[in-house]
């Protein structure tokens, strides 16, 4: 596409981003400029703080219901105070600072302050315990920690710090009773609301952010992102979540994982939209719906797990008329959930795909008619292919690995690599492509359909079977809330297919129900795709970001491979195998 067809985006984003659309209004090209030294905190937040000081940046609701309306001027002022405070504590450019702040509003002050200083922000979940912190401190060479005073987080950090001497500062949001800790809320008041911008401003390709990945296998890797990552989320917010500059966007996410920065900061504020943050301790779907109704949320994004709960509620009793667009990502969305939600609300869930290492890579974008069960089409920000193991490109309908071209350099939003781990970086970035480890196929219309992780694919009786298509069928059963399909050892087939199933409340887990499910499998699945083992479970193992950990189920089952009676079938084997 010729750059003459590109037009600057509206508002502050137009300084850095130009786009073009096809005859149907669907985004088909994007170009970034003035990004060599781009720094989100200075170039977006501070500019809006001065030009639109009273514009709402965040509506924050504490767990006790207290409301805080925080403007862009507030964000500018308090991030300046925090930057001065961090400098006073000895935090400098290049230092790595872990933020364990749940959904506290102080997270936004702190991360913007770190961007201004040039220190590297490392969000982390409050679910971590001593051994998790020990690993992260050493692997990430952490210099400072800012954490919540809620629960046992600070005491776990303190215990972990006994085996790691690299922390120059331990800071708590809230009153501190631990010796040697600083009090963020108290201390920040004494620092200037003006922060002198350094002559050598951090930005562009400099490291800004690191995530410990929430992958479904192995110990967490550390994905490092540059300051351009923030620009990379413009499509995420504008064309996928479709945020409104005069509206309020609500993404359900703890700040400890990447989805928070997909939906609670960069792209939304580039669009000048306010973000909604509810700092809850426990998830109750009815409370989420009440928040949408009360605060007139205009756009909403949540992982598929949330929608699986919502479709089992009476959504008609909530006034959701303010909602214009709903979206999902994190793992594949079952078509059955899409259809149920659409029937209940009249809204089509816009599915998207990306990773900790990327921004939105594939999605159902503004102006597109989504296909239930499809991730959508590749974002014009990336050159996406579906690739065979030998490096050749798959044909239409053929399953292969999702890869992103890096032949012309790293596109905006793609990670810099894994921190201090060149071997792991080279294992996913080679021959001109970043290899996602996820498999899919592309249909004749260019839509991508998720199959599973490369290591989730089941090899049974000579067939290769992706778990997601089987899970989609199981999710059609009205008494199933969630399920996971994995392999178990089988002396005849090598691997057999197992379904771990979470039932709706009040549904009895009986042998009769298993037999009913087997009859359903016979009627709806090819013989080689039918689960031979069904296990009813109270919950499925998940990562902190809500992804189902099939690998944990698989590892547990394969550890018992020597027990010949462990995986006896339901007694309803298909007769046509």
Structural domain boundaries in the chain: 25-437, 467-558
What is the chain's pLDDT, residue by residue, as a tens digit (577 residues)?
Answer: 444 589 999 999 999 999 999 999 999 999 999 999 999 999 999 999 999 999 999 999 999 999 999 999 999 999 999 999 999 999 999 999 999 999 999 999 999 999 999 999 999 999 899 999 999 999 999 999 999 999 999 999 999 999 999 999 999 998 777 999 999 999 999 999 999 999 899 999 999 999 998 654 557 899 999 999 999 999 999 999 999 999 999 999 999 989 999 999 999 999 999 999 999 988 899 999 999 999 999 999 999 989 999 999 999 999 999 999 999 998 889 899 999 999 999 999 999 999 999 999 999 999 999 999 999 999 999 999 999 999 999 999 999 999 999 999 999 999 999 999 999 999 999 999 999 999 999 999 999 999 888 878 787 766 778 888 899 999 999 999 999 999 998 876 778 999 999 999 999 999 999 999 999 999 999 888 999 999 999 999 987 667 788 888 988 888 876 554 454 455 444 333 3
The residue ranges of DSSP E strands in 345-444, in sequence order, are 349-353, 362-363, 377-378, 384-387, 400-405, 417-418, 429-430, 433-442
Phi then psi for residue 439, to 5 deg, are -115, 150
pTM of the prediction? 0.87
Radius of gyration of the chain from Cα atoms? 24
Pinpoint the alpha helices (H) of 407-563: 422-428, 467-474, 511-524, 550-558
467-558: CATH, from 3.40.190.80, 2.160.20.10, 3.30.300.30, 3.90.550.50: 3.30.300.30
The domain defined by 25-437 carries CATH number 3.40.50.300 = no
Question: What are the tokens at 573?
Answer: 């084997």
Question: What are the tokens at 397?
Answer: 């309908």
Q: How far apart are CA 364 and CA 446, in angstroms?
A: 11
CA distances from 291 to 236, 284, 294, 446 (A): 23, 11, 5, 37
């Amino acid at each position: 596409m010729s750059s003459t067809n590109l037009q600057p985006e509206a508002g502050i984003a137009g300084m850095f981003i130009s786009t073009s659309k096809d005859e149907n209004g669907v985004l088909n090209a994007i170009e970034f400029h003035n990004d060599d030294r781009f720094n989100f905190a200075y170039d977006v937040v501070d500019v809006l703080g001065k030009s639109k000081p009273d514009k709402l940046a965040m509506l924050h609701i504490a767990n006790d219901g207290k409301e805080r309306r925080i403007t862009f001027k507030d964000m500018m002022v308090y991030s300046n105070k925090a930057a001065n405070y961090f400098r006073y504590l000895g935090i400098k450019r290049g230092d790595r600072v872990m933020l364990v702040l749940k959904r506290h509003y102080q997270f936004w002050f702190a991360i913007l302050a770190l961007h201004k200083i040039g220190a590297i922000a490392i969000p982390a979940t409050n679910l971590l315990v001593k051994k998790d912190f020990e690993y992260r401190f050493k692997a990430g060479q952490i210099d400072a920690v800012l954490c919540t005073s809620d629960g046992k987080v600070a005491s776990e950090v303190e215990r972990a710090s006994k085996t790691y001497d690299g922390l120059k500062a331990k800071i708590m949001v809230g009153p501190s009773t631990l010796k040697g800790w600083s009090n963020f809320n108290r201390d920040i008041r004494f620092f200037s609301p003006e922060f002198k911008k350094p002559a050598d401003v951090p930005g562009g390709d400099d490291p800004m952010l690191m995530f410990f990945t929430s992958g479904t296998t192995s110990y967490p890797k550390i994905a490092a992102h540059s300051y351009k990552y923030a620009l990379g989320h413009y499509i995420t917010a504008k064309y996928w979540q479709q945020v409104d500059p005069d509206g309020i966007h609500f993404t359900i996410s703890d700040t400890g994982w990447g989805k928070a920065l997909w939906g609670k900061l960069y792209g939304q504020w580039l669009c000048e939209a306010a973000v909604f943050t509810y700092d809850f301790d426990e998830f109750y779907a009815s409370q989420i719906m009440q928040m949408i109704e009360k605060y007139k949320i205009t756009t909403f994004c949540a992982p598929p797990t949330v929608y699986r709960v919502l479709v089992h509620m009476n959504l008609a009793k909530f006034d959701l008329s303010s909602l214009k667009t709903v979206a999902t990502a994190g793992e594949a969305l079952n078509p059955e959930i899409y259809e149920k939600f659409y029937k209940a609300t009249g809204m089509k869930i816009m599915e998207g795909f990306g990773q900790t290492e990327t921004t939105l890579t594939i999605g159902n974008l503004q102006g597109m008619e989504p296909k239930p069960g499809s991730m959508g089409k590749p974002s014009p920000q990336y050159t996406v292919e579906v690739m065979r193991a030998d490096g050749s490109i798959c044909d239409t309908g053929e399953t292969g690995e999702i890869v992103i071209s890096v032949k012309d350099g790293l596109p905006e939003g793609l990670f810099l690599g894994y921190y201090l781990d060149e071997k792991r970086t080279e294992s996913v970035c080679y021959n001109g492509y970043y290899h996602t480890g996820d498999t899919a196929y592309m249909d004749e219309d260019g839509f991508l359909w998720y199959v599973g992780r490369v290591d989730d694919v089941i090899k049974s009786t000579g067939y290769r079977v992706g778990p997601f298509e089987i899970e989609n069928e199981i999710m059609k059963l009205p008494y199933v809330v969630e399920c996971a399909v994995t392999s178990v050892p089988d002396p005849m087939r090598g691997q057999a297919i197992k379904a771990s199933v979470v039932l709706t409340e009040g549904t009895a887990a009986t042998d009769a129900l298993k037999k009913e499910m087997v009859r359903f499998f016979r009627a709806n699945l090819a013989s080689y795709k039918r689960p031979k083992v069904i296990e009813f479970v109270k919950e499925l193992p998940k990562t902190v970001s809500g992804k189902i950990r099939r690998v944990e189920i698989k590892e547990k089952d394969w550890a018992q491979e020597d027990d010949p009676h462990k995986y006896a079938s339901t007694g309803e084997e298909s007769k046509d195998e």
